[in-house]
Amino acid sequence: MKPVVKKSALAGIVVTGIAVASAMAAEEAALNVGEVNVYSYRQPFLVQPLFDAFTEQSGIKVNVLFAKTGLVERLKQEGANSPADLIFTVDIGRLSEAYNASLTQPVTSPALTAAIPDIYREPAGNWYGLTRRARIIYASKERISPEEAPKTYEELADPKWAGRICTRSGNHVYQVGLTAAMVAHHGEAKTEAWLKGIKANLARKPQGNDRAQVKAIREGECDIALGNHYYYVLMQQNEEQSAWAQSVYPVFPTIGDTGTHVNISGMALTKASPNQDNAVKLMEFLAGPLAQQMYAEQNYEYPILDGVPETGVLKAMGPMTSDTLPLADISEHRSAAIKLVDKVGYND
Ligand code: FE
């Protein structure tokens, strides 16, 4: 099934004017009532197989509008006339952004609350996690022995790592999530000291994406990097990047003595949802065993439903125990985290 909305139409949403208005009218006609309409930050090829399976089982058609940015703003702009039923995100930041802007509504569903542990959903049901994404340490095989490698995020601030760490921008949602988790565990003062400590240990100015940090290890620029766990698998599958992956090994650090910081990909029912019954059916399907297994296999992420087997590649990376603090609590510290990143001049 092809997404009904074309990318070219989306290009208009960041600007204003007549061209936008006509593009939006065309899209509204395409996103039909009686089906289910998803605004997705998650790439179509990752979610389409799940939607196809849902349609096969339920007979309900799923229309997807994908964009890398701007979907929350778009929901705001469309208000009560929005055709969107669900919003899909790849991190907690955007979910809480939609929730805080009152663009979501609570879903009460025994199936969802049974499937999704309470630490991975908003208490009233305004958003639900679907998969877990661990933020891990990548360590140089050549230059760091497993005994020596840091076992906690806190240790990254230790001066013994001076000049040896690489990270991406402190303002990126993945880094903000981790910093917010530090605030949730240790408070702002300790987190500020931690950020200063890591900044002092950086081998270079924060830059690039997660994979670029591992590349920098391969090239000898640094010995330790932070990145999401699934890039380890994705790099191995990439001709150019497999050498980068082979130069490192993954470490699953703990935070505040609990477990590894995880972010979630997740979903929320929009406040204006015109097809609520269908939307909730899709949410329940995605939290169920079939979709959870498909999702984990397709994306190399950790399922959220208990009892779904981890894929072989994840097992090979080693055991993962995740942080036990509720993501809803962590996300409340996101703005404090962003302020601290600026305060210490992390990216300067
Ligand atoms: Fe990613």
Amino acid (1-letter code) at residue 79? G
Q: Is the pLDDT of residue 46 over 90?
A: no
CA distance 5 to 9: 7
- What average pLDDT does range 144-153 have in this prediction? 97
Over the stretch 7-20, which tens digit does the pLDDT of each residue have?
333 333 332 233 33
Q: What is the CA(41)–ligand 1 centre distance, in A?
A: 11
**Which CA distances in Å does 191 have to 226, 256, 260, 333, 336?**
17, 12, 17, 11, 10
User: 120: which residues sit within 8 A by CB, 6+ positions away?
Assistant: 128, 129, 132, 264, 266, 304, 326, 327
CA distance 216 to 301: 24
pLDDT for 7 equals 33
- What domains are there in the chain, each with its CATH number? 30-132+263-310 (3.40.190.10), 134-261+326-343 (3.40.190.10)
Q: Which of 129, 103, 84, 178 is nearest to 305 (CA)?
A: 129
pLDDT for 34 equals 73
First to last CA, the chain: 46
- The model carries a pTM of 0.87
Q: What is the CA(166)–ligand 1 centre distance, in A?
A: 17
Least confident segment among 43-57, 117-131, 194-208 = 43-57
Over the stretch 246-301, which tens digit does the pLDDT of each residue have?
999 999 999 998 999 999 999 999 999 999 999 999 999 999 999 999 988 888 99
Q: What is the CA(109)–ligand 1 centre distance, in A?
A: 29
Three-class SS of residue 14?
helix
Over the stretch 51-87, which tens digit does the pLDDT of each residue have?
999 999 999 999 999 999 999 999 999 999 999 999 9
Phi-psi region of 103 (alpha: psi -120 to 50; beta: other; left: phi over 0): alpha
Mean pLDDT of the chain: 90
User: 2: which residues sit within 8 A by CB, 6+ positions away?
Assistant: none
Q: What is the CA(228)–ligand 1 centre distance, in A?
A: 7
Q: Which of 235, 214, 234 is nearest to 225 (CA)?
A: 214
Q: How many CB atoms lie within 10 A of CB 34?
A: 9
Q: What is the CA(200)–ligand 1 centre distance, in A?
A: 26
Buried b (16+ CB within 10 A) or exposed e, 298-324: bbbbbbbbeebebbeebeebeebebbe
pLDDT for 31 equals 56
Q: What is the CA(149)–ligand 1 centre distance, in A?
A: 24
